[in-house]
Amino acid sequence: MNIGGIFAILDDVAATLDDVAVMSKVAAKKTAGILGDDLAVNAQLSSNFASDRELPVLWAIAKGSFINKLIILPFAFLLSAFAPWTIAPILILGAAYLSYEGAEKIEEYLHKIGKPKEVVHSSEHDLNDETEKQKIKKAIMTDFILSIEIIVIALGTVANQPLITQIIVTSIIAIIATVGVYGLVALLVRMDDIGVGIMKKGEKKNSKSMVNFGIFLIESMPKTIKALSVIGVIAMLLVAGGIFNHNVPFLHDYEFLHNIIGDFVLGLISGFIIIGLFKIRSLFKRA
C-alpha cells in the first residue's frame, strides 16, 4: 500500500471519528431525559437495603445492567436493519411493565394511608438473601426496559448514518447509561458516609465550613433518597406514557396528551388497568 492510500484511510478514520463525536452529542441530548429517569428509578430501587449491603447490591445491579446492554445492542442493530416494525411493539410492552410498576407503588402507598405504622424489628428489617436476590432481579428487569428505550432513542438519532457510526455512537450512549448512572447512584446512596469523612477532616483541620458541609450531606442523604423514591415512581410513569404517546397510532390525534402531564396520566391509567386485569385474572383462578 502506498503512502497516499494510508493517508486516505487515516482521513476516512478521522472523518468517522468526527461524525461519531457530533452524533454522540446529539444522541446524548436526545436521551438526557430518559437517563435522568433511569438515575431516579435506580436510586430508588438500590436504596432499600441495609447500609453494608448497598454497594454490593448496587454492583450486582450494575453488572446486570451491563449484561442487559450486551444483550440489547446486537438485537437492536439487527431489528433496526431487518425488522424495524418490531421495535414499536417491544417498546409498548416495556411501557406496560413500567406503568404497572409505577402504579403498583402508588397503590401500595394509598393502602398505607391512615394505617398505623408497623414497628419493624432489626432482625426483620435486614433483608434475607432470598429477598435481596428478588429485589436485585426486579431492579435488573426494570433497567432492561429503560435500557431498551435509551438504546432505541440513541439508535434513532443515527439511523441515517453508516453502520459503523451507528454501532459506535449507540455503544457510547449505552456505556454512559451504565457507568454514569450507577456511578451517580453509588455517590447518592453513600452520601452520608462521604459526609462523615468530610466532617472528620474538617474537625482535624479545625474548619467549621467543612464540618457544616459534612453535616449537611449526612442530613440530606435520607431526604434525597426519599425524594428520589418519589421521583423514580413518577419517572417510570412518565417514560411509559411517553412511549405510549409516541408508538400508539390512535393517540397521535389527541394533542392535549402530548405533554408531560399527558405522559403521566397515560402511564398511571395504563398501570391501574393492568393491575385491574391481574386482579380479575386471580379472581377467575380462585373460582
Vertex 151, ends 11 and 83: CA angle to 5°? 90
Report the pLDDT value the prediction gives residue 262, as an integer from 0 to 100: 92
Query: How much is the pTM?
Result: 0.69
Report the pLDDT value the prediction gives residue 160, as an integer from 0 to 100: 72
Confidence band for 172, pLDDT divided at 50, 70 and 90: confident
> Domain count of the chain?
1
Does the pLDDT value for residue 6 go beyond 50? no
**Grid cell digits, residue 203:** 474537625
Does the pLDDT value for residue 41 go beyond 70? no
Report the pLDDT value the prediction gives residue 190, as an integer from 0 to 100: 79
Domain limits for position 108: 3-286
Report the pLDDT value the prediction gives residue 272, as an integer from 0 to 100: 95
Confidence band for 163, pLDDT divided at 50, 70 and 90: confident
| Averaged pLDDT, 214-228 | 82
Report the pLDDT value the prediction gives residue 45, as an integer from 0 to 100: 63
- By the 10 Å C-beta count (0-12 exposed, 13-18 middle, 19+ buried), 254 is classed as exposed
Does the pLDDT value for residue 266 go beyond 90? yes
Alpha-carbon torsion 43, 49, 53, 59, what sign? Answer: negative
- By the 10 Å C-beta count (0-12 exposed, 13-18 middle, 19+ buried), 152 is classed as buried
Report the pLDDT value the prediction gives residue 20, as an integer from 0 to 100: 56
| Averaged pLDDT, 240-256 | 86
Weakest-pLDDT range from 21-30, 84-93, 191-200: 21-30
| Averaged pLDDT, 165-177 | 82
Weakest-pLDDT range from 143-152, 205-214, 273-282: 143-152
Instruction: Give CA–CA dist 248/99, Å, rounded.
Output: 15
Instruction: Give CA–CA dist 252/186, Å, rounded.
Output: 39
| Averaged pLDDT, 275-279 | 91
Confidence band for 264, pLDDT divided at 50, 70 and 90: very high
Instruction: Give CA–CA dist 194/228, Å, rounded.
Output: 19
**Mean pLDDT for the chain overall:** 77
Angle between helices 3-46 and 163-175 (to 10 degrees): 30
- By the 10 Å C-beta count (0-12 exposed, 13-18 middle, 19+ buried), 283 is classed as exposed
Residue 189 in contact with residue 58, Cβ under 8 Å? yes
Report the pLDDT value the prediction gives residue 130, as an integer from 0 to 100: 60
286 or 69: whose pLDDT is higher? 69
Residue 196 in contact with residue 207, Cβ under 8 Å? no
Does the pLDDT value for residue 278 go beyond 60? yes
Residues 6+ apart with CB under 8 A from 214: 195, 196, 197, 198, 199, 200, 201, 202
